[in-house]
Amino acid sequence: MKILKNIKALYLVEEQNPSFKKGEAMNQINTIEHAFLVIEGERIANFGKMSDLIDQNWTEVIDCTDQYVLPTFVDSHSHIVYAGTREGEFIDKINGLSYEEIAAKGGGILNSAEKLRKATENELFEQSMVRAQEVITTGTGALEIKSGYGLSVESEMKMLRVIQRIKEESDLSIKATFLGAHAYPKEYKDNKRGYLDLIIKEMIPNIAKEKLADYIDVFCESNYFSVEETIEIMDAGKNHGLIPKIHVNQFTSIGGIQACVQHGALSVDHLEILTDEDIEALKTGNTIPTILPACSLFIEIPYGPGKKLIENGLGFALATDYNPGSSPCGNMQLVMSLACIKMKISPNAALNASTINGAYAMNLEHELGSITKGKLANLIITNKIPSVGFIPYSFGTNDVAKVILKGKIQ
């Protein structure tokens, strides 16, 4: 058994979590000062105050004097499997083109699809694994990864197999999402029905048969997939055991949230443009809103109204949206900083949104997201920082000294 001793404070100590944190509870965090924590195998075996510690022969002792220990971040929305990068579009953006204008001139998702189709499965794995390793260094311990740059049966399956390989070869807890409905590929530009049929009749059954995905996603947005198309794809996914987790309200509010809540989506993600009706709809189900502030920063769109959600008694998760077009960043510490600075939420709310609420958005709330006996020992040991609130304050700095995943120091 390993022991972490002399911890300045242990953060996010919880009993098993029945649901995600909402409203005022978003601002509350339970801590134990001057603490110890015992790891047995992959899991948290015990923790408490140093004064209550009964010493034993530990296999490893980690001294955490002046350091905080928190659960690792749970990043419930990413697209880290992609080929090549799009910094050419970054120049277009600097020169004043919007995300939609860049996509209209052949950039955007279709640009990444072209690159991905040309990459071998091995090349794609190697490029993506670098990103998976990179996010661990800033404290991420669980990651949802989407397909959606293949847009053909073969290339979508290639992406999903790469996600499975990352799951096997890293200590991250990974969930896979099928996002065939990310954009209409150019060969189906004038045959949208044909592409929907391909998704529904070929992609979904094949992916489900090979157990390559946990979730189904759709880019429900003006000029991408309509609410009716989203419902059709959500239903087809559900028939094959894929739970909906949907991109909605990034640029426009077109009724996607209402449809997702009614169809039992696990999460609705983006929410930069959110109406009062959308907020009322969110109060009616168990769907967790997920906000992606790094995307707002990068493509200069509004920030999701996190503060207003809390004032309405709602909760939400924060995630990176790590992808080559709208958020080439996988750093959850920076996401927390942006959430505090731009969305005006408290550091405690940002921390809950990045841990326990993210875990709920990946159906991992019984395994991850808090310091709870029996949960996976996925832990951050911070640098010697003055407080945990220092993490979002010191934006752009990595305040993580060590990451432990499934009981193993990374």
Which residue ranges make up the site for ligand NIG (CB under 6 A)?
A: 108-109, 112, 219, 247, 250, 295, 321, 323-326
Tokens linked to 130: 């670098």
User: Is the CB of 67 or the CB of 177 nearer to ligand NIG?
Assistant: 177
Identify the H or E element spanning 62.
strand 60-63
User: Is the CB of 171 or the CB of 321 nearer to Fe ion?
Assistant: 321
- Residue 180, binding choice from ligand NIG, Fe ion, none, Cβ under 5 to 8 Å by partner class: none
What is each CA distance from 6 to 262, 329, 374, 381, in whole angstroms? 48, 33, 21, 12
According to DSSP, the β-strands at 400-405 and 379-382 are antiparallel
- What does the per-residue mask of binding to Fe ion show for 310-329, with x meaning CB under 5 A? -----------x--------
User: Is the CB of 248 or the CB of 314 nearer to ligand NIG?
Assistant: 248
- Residue 78, binding choice from Fe ion, ligand NIG, none, Cβ under 5 to 8 Å by partner class: none
Tokens linked to 377: 């020992």
User: Is the CB of 72 or the CB of 327 nearer to ligand NIG?
Assistant: 327
- What does the per-residue mask of binding to Fe ion show for 262-301, with x meaning CB under 5 A? ----------------------------------------
User: Is the CB of 323 or the CB of 357 nearer to ligand NIG?
Assistant: 323
Nearby residues of 66 by Cβ (< 8 Å), 6 or more positions away: 8, 384
Identify the H or E element spanning 267.
strand 267-270
The CB-of-332 to Fe ion minimum distance in angstroms stands at: 15
Residue nearest ligand NIG by beta-carbon distance:
325
User: Is the CB of 182 or the CB of 263 nearer to Fe ion?
Assistant: 182
The CB-of-321 to Fe ion minimum distance in angstroms stands at: 4
The CB-of-319 to Fe ion minimum distance in angstroms stands at: 8
* Rounded Cα–Cα distance for residues 327 and 224 (Å): 19
The CB-of-282 to ligand NIG minimum distance in angstroms stands at: 19
- Residue 315, binding choice from ligand NIG, Fe ion, none, Cβ under 5 to 8 Å by partner class: none
Size of the site for Fe ion (CB under 5 A): 1
* Rounded Cα–Cα distance for residues 22 and 315 (Å): 4
User: Is the CB of 53 or the CB of 301 nearer to ligand NIG?
Assistant: 301
- Residue 346, binding choice from Fe ion, ligand NIG, none, Cβ under 5 to 8 Å by partner class: none
Site for Fe ion in 318-377 (CB under 5 A): 321
Closest CA to 345 of 320, 312, 308, 319: 308
- 46 — phi, psi (to 5°)? -165, 160
The CB-of-244 to ligand NIG minimum distance in angstroms stands at: 15
Q: What is the DSSP string of 302-371?
A: PPP-HHHHHHTT---EE----BTTTB----HHHHHHHHHHHH---HHHHHHHHTHHHHHTTT-TTTSSSB
- Residue 357, binding choice from Fe ion, ligand NIG, none, Cβ under 5 to 8 Å by partner class: none
User: Is the CB of 156 or the CB of 321 nearer to ligand NIG?
Assistant: 321
The CB-of-298 to ligand NIG minimum distance in angstroms stands at: 9
The CB-of-54 to Fe ion minimum distance in angstroms stands at: 48
- Residue 10, binding choice from ligand NIG, Fe ion, none, Cβ under 5 to 8 Å by partner class: none
* Rounded Cα–Cα distance for residues 319 and 85 (Å): 20
The CB-of-324 to ligand NIG minimum distance in angstroms stands at: 5
If DSSP codes are grouped into helix, strand and coil, which group holds residue 84?
coil
Is 254 in contact with 222 (CB distance < 8 Å)?
A: yes
Q: How many other CB atoms sit within 10 Å of the CB of residue 23?
A: 13
Vertex 129 angle, CA 320 and 41, to 5°: 90
CA atoms within 13 A on the CB side of 359: 27
Binding site for Fe ion (CB under 5 A): 321
